[in-house]
Amino acid sequence: MNPEHQKWLDQTEEDTLNPDMPVCDPHQHFWDWTNYRYFLDELLEDISGGHNIRETVFVECRSMYRRDGPEEMKPLGETEFVHGIAAQSASGQYGETNVAAGIVSFAALTLGAPVRPVLEAHQTASPRFRGVRHMTSFDPSEDIPNLRPFPQGLMSDTKFREGIGVLGDTGLTFDAYVYHTQLHELADLANAFPSVTVVLNHVGGPLGIGPYAGNREQVFQFWKEGISALAASPNVVVKIGGLVMPLSGFGWREQAIPVNSIELAEGTAPYYLHCIEQFGPERCMFESNWPVDKIACSYTVLWNAFKVLAKDFSPSEQADLFHDTAARVYRL
C-alpha cells in the first residue's frame, strides 16, 4: 500500500461502533503483486480497529498459481498458499480471528465434467476449501473492465453449465461476480441448478462508469429488477458490499478527505437495503471486499457503515447479516 494513500485514509478516523458484535467477513483477498503485497500481517493491521472479526473467508484473486504442471491444476497454488496463511492464523500467535476459515478458489468450470478431479485436488490441498469463484462479468463497452478473458454469454455455455453441475454434486458453492446487466442471466443459471448455492458478489455489480456514468437512476431501476428476479431463487444468497470500488461510479476515491461511515451508509443504503428486503437477512451477508475497497475507506469505517445501515434490524437479523449467514453458507 502506498504510504501516501494510507496517509490520506488516516484523515478519517472513527471509534468502532458496537465492538462486541461478532462478525464473519466473507470476502477478503491475499496477494503479492508488483509493489503491493497483502498477507496476514497487513490484514491484521487493517482489522485491528476494534470490530470483533471472528472469521474471514478468502476469495480467489489469481494469486500464487503453480508455475508448472497441467494448466487446469495451476490454480491449486492459490489454495495451498492461503492454507499456509490460515495455518499461521490457527497457531494462536496472531490474535483471535480465524483468518481464511473458508477458502473460495478458482477452477475452470468451462472444463465441464473433467473439472471434478480439479475440485477434488483443491479439497485435498485444504480442508477449508468451500467453493469456486469463476468470474463471468462482461460488458461490451471498452470503458468497462472485463476482469478475466471470458466471453459474453458464458453462463449459458453448455460446458460451463456442466461444470456448475459438478459443483452441485460435490456440495461446493459458486461465487458469482457479474455486472448489473447480467443479473437475469445469473437468475436463469441459478434456476437451472437449484442444488447449487449461488453467492452473488458485490450486490450484482451496478455500474456507474463509462456508458453508465450519469445514468444512476436508470441503472438502479434495471438493477432492482434483476435483484428481485434473483431473489426468487431460494438457492441464491448475496454479499452486501463492494460498492466502494470505482466501477460503481460514486467517486469516493477522488474526495479530498475519505468518506466517513455516515456518508458511506447513506450512499449505499438504496442498494443494500433493497437486497436485504428482497432476500431477507438470512440470505444476506455483509462483506468487506478487502483490500480492494481500501482504495476509498478504512476497514473500521466500512464496518461502521454496515452497522449504521443495520441499526433498525432486530438482534437476530443483525446476527444473520454480520455473521451467521456467512458461517452457514461457507460451513465454518
- pLDDT per position as a tens digit, 309-327: 999 999 999 999 999 999 9
Mean pLDDT confidence for 253-276: 97
From the list 44, 7, 8, 3, the residue with the least C-alpha distance to 290 is 44
User: Could you give the dihedral angle defined by the CA atoms of residues 126, 127, 128 and 130, in that order, rounded to the nearest 10 degrees?
Assistant: 100
Q: How far apart (Å, rounded) are the C-alpha atoms in residues 44 and 310?
A: 25
Q: How confident is the model at residue 256 (pLDDT cuts 50, 70, 90)?
A: very high
- Evaluate whether 27 touches 239 at the Cβ level (below 8 Å): yes
How much is the mean pLDDT over the chain?
96
Percent of residues, the chain, with pLDDT higher than 70: 99
| The one-letter amino acid at 266 | E
Domain span including residue 95: 3-12+19-329
Angstrom distance (rounded) from CA 42 to CA 116:
34
Confidence of residue 221 (pLDDT cuts 50, 70, 90): very high
The SS3 of residue 37 is strand
Give me the CATH number covering residue 153.
3.20.20.140
pLDDT tens readout for residues 115-152:
999 999 999 999 999 999 999 999 999 999 877 767 78
- How far apart CA 157 and CA 241 sit, in angstroms, is 28
pLDDT of residue 149: 67
Number of domains within the chain? 1
C-alpha–C-alpha distance, residues 176 and 178, integer Å: 6
Place of cell 496472531: 94
Judged by DSSP in three states, 121 sits in helix
Give the confidence band of 97 by pLDDT, cuts at 50, 70, 90: very high
pLDDT digits (tens, 9 = 90+) for 76-88: 999 999 999 999 9
User: CA 285, CA 274: separation in Å to the nearest integer?
Assistant: 13
